[in-house]
Amino acid sequence: MRKSPINRDMKIAVVGATGAVGGEFLELLAASGVDPSRVRLIASQRSMGRSVVVAGKSIPLEVLRDGCFDEVDIAFFSAGKSISREWAPKAVAAGAWAVDNSSAFRMDPTVALVIPEVNPDAIAFAQGPAIVAVPNCSTIVALVAATPLHREAGVRRMTVATYQAASGAGAAAMRELESQAHAFASDRAMDTSIFGRQYLFNCFSHNSAIGDEGYNEEEAKLLHETRKIWKEPAVRISATCVRVPVLRAHCEAIGLEFERPLSEARAREILSAAPSVQVVDDRANNRFPEPLNAAGIDPVLVGRIRGDWSLDPGMGLQLFVAGDQIRIGAALTGWRIADLIAAHARA
């Protein structure tokens, strides 16, 4: 991990420390060199009495309460929308920056929605401590790959088909998928309490609510969040989001239509130099992005880079990408936002 502007003396709070995203954030925290005695870990009441080891130090879990953000510099929230809505403003009132991984504030026009590789300047540092929202995982994975091409040629239309892992539904969904594999191997009945259906050897429409127009919430997030992040209210986006029986790392098939011509060769140059992108595009050996290879690493893998046959030459490209939903799709992006905040504090 690269050196972080977050220093040992900063006080950090992690709300949702025992969840999948919170646990990943703690790994990033431990690797950063932050003094563990300056870390406050917050979880639900059922976790009380437990401790979590961070950088070799056992830290007791706390519950949310008045005063828990006193003297905190940065509070990372990954405990769900209702917790964030109630407690992120309280953290800011106590003088902390709140980096929120839920959907609570993403479309609030007064709250910055930030992918550090895409729009770091959206954070209004002059206003002092504030809430900064982390986009949805599928939006992050798509835009880390698509934004460098958008800057070059102007994306007028984007179509996305997602292949989303169990990690997007939390640690319990990951455990259920694993348990179904064990049940299948031993000819036992499968637990289907999370999704209400067999997940193993199956794919199904994303489990978020369907709106009146037939799009689910996950698909709507890709549209509205991209428009906000890019500051492009007219860009046309259509998505189909699907759950696939993968433990960790989302994949996406992305089609881009451009305002200006962009050759495949130039697109490869741009993506090869883009931050947080790793080009994996070996046609000779049929090696392209796969979730197993994306799991646990920082970059978004980008491959299947090819012209779109349905458009005039140079006016569109097709991509296939894979990114770790827990890492760059959540915790790592939150950490890099905290990096931006820390760097500003040191300036």
| Catalytic positions, written as ranges | 137, 250
Give the 3-state secondary structure of residue 144: helix
Burial of 17: CB neighbours in 10 Å, binned 0-12, 13-18, 19+: buried
Give the 3-state secondary structure of residue 217: helix
CB 252 within 8 A of CB 161: yes
Burial of 101: CB neighbours in 10 Å, binned 0-12, 13-18, 19+: buried
Cα-Cα end-to-end distance for the chain: 22
Q: Work out whether the CA dihedral 181, 300, 147, 280 comes out positive or negative.
A: negative
Burial of 286: CB neighbours in 10 Å, binned 0-12, 13-18, 19+: exposed
